Amino acid sequence: MQNPVDAFSEYIASNGLKNTPQRRLIVEIFFESGKHLSTEELYNVVRAADKHIGQATVYRTLKLLCDAGLAKELHFGEATARYEPIEDDSHHDHLICNVCGKNVEVMDEEIERRQEELAASYGFSLVSHRMILFGVCANCRSGGQDKARGPEPL
Amino acid sequence: MQNPVDAFSEYIASNGLKNTPQRRLIVEIFFESGKHLSTEELYNVVRAADKHIGQATVYRTLKLLCDAGLAKELHFGEATARYEPIEDDSHHDHLICNVCGKNVEVMDEEIERRQEELAASYGFSLVSHRMILFGVCANCRSGGQDKARGPEPL
DNA sequence: TTACCTGCAAACAGTTTGCAGGCCG
DNA sequence: CGGCCTGCAAACTGTTTGCAGGTAA
């Protein structure tokens, strides 16, 4: 049951929901594709595989994935939301290049620990957090021009 | 020129823009009111002071304040954006109670330092960051029931 | 058979924009 | 007086929802 696609089927089954071909396709593509997909990006890929799928179904399935604890909604400050798969015990934050849009997943024990302490010092018990670091990557700093200009989608 | 309202006039003047009564009112209220106002909240307060101001003007003025470097747009995961005044050299992050919505401004040197190091370890030069801690405050944890807000989507 | 699902389109919320008239400088 | 501004409403974008027909279990 490690496979997230199976985990989804499991969730579907144990909640009296239906395992439809549309959901299977969307979920499969979501977990196979690169991370941090926006709903529209996912919709386009899904659409390429099956012309007849409506975007409402993509939205609904994505929300279902979040309910199932298999995906997380992210907001990088764009108009649209993005989603990333949740892999067990692999919490991380994001480091984004302001120039080329490169998005690196990062994690630092010390920061995590201090966050707990900081929250505690205000009487809060920490539930979760969201942290995004914005900077310029080495390549872009050295005038690197790999991909075309303009920030890439995250 | 420490007064942000004056700083705004300064910005207006030196950019060939006009210092209208609407802008003055909006800016004044923005800096006097509590922090983290949403556009709608600000609009309501402004509206109470002058029935004839349209919300487009509030949106435009808020954007102007950001351009002037006097305000910052924040996204706490709600549908709407929020804005906070930028006071020179007073950087901080946010600690939010998932239950009552209390919003505390926090800052931790150690975290800031580790963020720099973390970014550097990936070859990035850090430009800025965004960090929000979600938890439950002491009051809400001890059964306190103020207002409900519902858990924050990540 | 019975819910649950789906695609479609309309509805929505927040935000932006076009326009005709108004006012600062 | 000229160009920036304003209020209004319509347009837009991302997301949600109502509905009639379809389908998994």
Whose tokens are 């205000």? That residue is A122
CA pair distance B108, B100, nearest whole angstrom: 23
Percentage with pLDDT > 70 across chain A: 90
Q: Dihedral, CA atoms, A98, A102, A105, A108, nearest 10 degrees? A: -40
Nucleic strand D within 7 A of Cβ B80: no
What average pLDDT score do residues B70-82 get? 89
Contact criterion met (CB < 8 Å) for B154 and A77: no
CA pair distance B105, B50, nearest whole angstrom: 31
Tokens coding B84: 């906070």
Q: Which candidate from B115, B134, B153 shows the least CB-CB separation from A133?
A: B115
CA pair distance B148, A128, nearest whole angstrom: 18
Whose tokens are 């979600």? That residue is B134
By CA distance, what is A83's nearest residue in B? B154
User: Roughly how many angstroms between the first and final C-alpha of chain A, as a whole number?
Assistant: 30
Partners of B72 in the beta sheet? B84
Partners of B154 on chain A (C-beta within 8 Å) are 72-74, 128, 130
- pLDDT above 70 (res A150): no
Reported as a pLDDT band with limits 50, 70 and 90, residue B70 is very high
- pLDDT above 90 (res A23): yes
CA of A63 to C1' of D16 (A): 12
Secondary structure E strands in A15-78: 37-38, 71-74
**Tally of helices (H runs) and strands (E runs) in chain B:** 6, 6
Angle (CA) B132-B138-B144 rounded to 5° is 115
Query: Is the four-CA dihedral B32, B47, B6, B4 of positive or negative sign?
Result: positive
Give the relative orientation of helices B21-32 and B39-49 as an angle to the nearest 10 degrees: 120
The answer to whether A10 and A1 have CB atoms below 8 angstroms apart is yes
CA pair distance B147, B55, nearest whole angstrom: 27
- pLDDT above 90 (res B44): yes
CA pair distance A128, A116, nearest whole angstrom: 10
How confident is the model at residue A125, as a pLDDT? 93
Q: Which nucleotide is nearest to A18 (CA to C1')?
A: D24
Q: CA of A108 to nearest chain B CA: how many angstroms apart?
A: 7
Q: Where are the alpha helices (DSSP H) in B33-129?
A: 39-49, 55-67, 109-121
Select the highest-mean-pLDDT range: A72-76, A122-126, B72-76.
A122-126
Contact criterion met (CB < 8 Å) for B122 and A106: yes
Reported as a pLDDT band with limits 50, 70 and 90, residue B12 is very high
Q: Which residue is nearest to nucleotide C17 (CA to C1')?
A: B56
CA of B27 to C1' of D8 (A): 22
Reported as a pLDDT band with limits 50, 70 and 90, residue B22 is very high
CA of A79 to C1' of D13 (A): 8
Tokens coding B139: 């009051």
Burial class (CB in 10 A: 0-12, 13-18, 19+), A21: exposed
CA atoms within 13 A on the CB side of A115: 24
Contact criterion met (CB < 8 Å) for B122 and A115: no
Give the model confidence (pLDDT) of A128-147 as tens digits. Answer: 999 999 999 999 988 765 44
Query: Is the four-CA dihedral B89, B95, B96, B102 of positive or negative sign?
Result: negative
Chain D positions within 7 A of any protein Cβ atom are 3-9, 13-18, 23-25
**Number of Cβ pairs closer than 8 Å across A and B?**
115
